[in-house]
Chain A
Amino acid sequence: MEKFAPVTRSEDGQPVRYLIVDDSVFARKNLARMVETFGGQVVGEAGDGVSAISEYERLTPDIVLMDITMPQMEGIEAAEKIVRDHPSARIVMVSSVGYQENIVAALQRGARHFVQKPVKAEVLYEVIKYVMRDDGTAARGAGAGA
C-alpha cells in the first residue's frame, strides 16, 4: 500500500481518531488498514447504525467512516441522529451504492462527504484532509503518495 504523509490533529498533534462503521468485517479491516497508513488511529468499530450511535457517544472520534446499507439501522439515518446531537461530527459516508439521491440525502442529513467503494486510498486520503480542514495538519508537502 502507498505511503502517505500522516494527518494529525492541529490542536495537539495527536493522530486523527476514527470510528469505522460497516456490517462487513472485511470492509472494516480494509478501511482500518488504509487509515493507519494515513497516520490515523482506529478507536472503534461498529457493524450497524444503532451501535454506531452508541460508539460515537462513548468515543467521540474525530471522523466516522460510515457505510450506508446495513442491518437494523442504515448509515444515513445513523448519521442524521449523530449530527443532530453532535453538530460538529465529521461523518464520511463510504458505500458502494453511490447514486445521486443517496449522496444528496446523506449530505442533507449532515454527512460531510461521500466516497464510493471500492475505496481508493488516495481518494480517501484527500477526503480526510478536506474534512479535517483547519483541525487537521498533514506534514509539509503532503499528498497522496508523498
Chain B
Amino acid sequence: MRMDLIQPFINSADAVLAQGLESPISIENLTMEEEAYRRKGIAAEVCLTGEIEGRIIFDVDQPAAAQLASRLAGVPVSETNDELIREAVCELANQIIGNAVTTLNDQGFHFHVRPPALHTSEQGSKGSEDTEALVMGFKTSSGNVFMNVALRYHRRRAADRAAVAG
C-alpha cells in the first residue's frame, strides 16, 4: 500500500483526537494485515470509491468509546448508552476520514466518500494483494483507538480522467 495514501490518515487521527480530547495521543503500533479484520469494540466503516478505492474501519474499545463520547459531548455518557456511543464513534470516524480525504484531494486524488456506517460484524472482509490493510493503534487519554485502512490506487480511473481532461 502506498504510504502517501496512509500518512494523511495518521495526521488526521492525531489532530482530530488530540483536539477532541484536549490531550496528546501517541501511535502505539502499526502493522500490515492480510487476515480478515476482527472488531475490537464499537466500529464504524467508511467506503471510498474513485481513483482511490477501499474502506477504513475506525474501532474503539467500549469503555474508551464511552469516555470519548463523554469528552466530545461535554456531558457524561454512560457505557450503556449504546446509541449515543455509536453515534460518537461514527462522527469521529467521519471527522478523521473527512480531514484525511481533504488532504488527499488537495494532493490531486479524486474520489467519493460514503457516509460512515456502523460496522457490526465480528469479522471484516479479508485484505488481498491489492488491498492489504494497515492497522494503526492509537493510545489516548480515554483508551485505545484502532484504525484499519485498506485502500488501493485505481490507476486506470486516474488515466481515464486524465484522458477526458486532456
A residues with a Cβ closer than 8 A to B are 1, 23-27, 29-30, 33, 69-71, 95-102, 116-118
Contact = CB atoms under 8 A, between A and B. Distances in A.
A112 B108 CA distance: 26
Contacts of B84: 25-26
Contacts of B96: 96
Interface residues of B, number: 25
A50 to B, nearest CB: 14
Contact of B90 (A26, A30, A33, A98): A26
Nearest to A34: B74
B115 A97 contact: no
Contacts, number: 64
11 contacts: A23-B115, A24-B90, A25-B87, A26-B84, A30-B72, A70-B115, A96-B95, A96-B102, A97-B113, A99-B105, A118-B16
Which of A25, A69, A95 is packed against the most chain B CB atoms within 10 Å?
A69
B20 interface: yes
B72 A26 contact: yes
Nearest to A120: B19
Contacts of B43: none
Contacts of B19: 118
Contact of A26 (B87, B102, B106): B87
B13 interface: no
A98 B94 CA distance: 12
Interface in B76-127: 84, 87-88, 90-91, 94-99, 101-102, 105-106, 113-115
A69 B98 contact: yes
Counting from the closest, the 4 A-B pairs by CB-CB distance are A96-B98, A99-B105, A26-B87, A97-B98
B98 A71 contact: no
A99 B102 contact: yes
Interface string B47-85: 000000000000000000000010011100000000010
Contact of A117 (B90, B95, B115): B95
Interface in B1-48: 16, 19-20
Given A24-B87, A100-B106, A118-B19, A69 B94 contact: yes
Given A25-B87, A99-B102, 17 more contacts: A1-B74, A24-B91, A24-B94, A26-B73, A26-B91, A27-B91, A29-B73, A30-B73, A30-B74, A33-B74, A69-B98, A69-B115, A71-B115, A95-B98, A96-B96, A96-B101, A117-B99
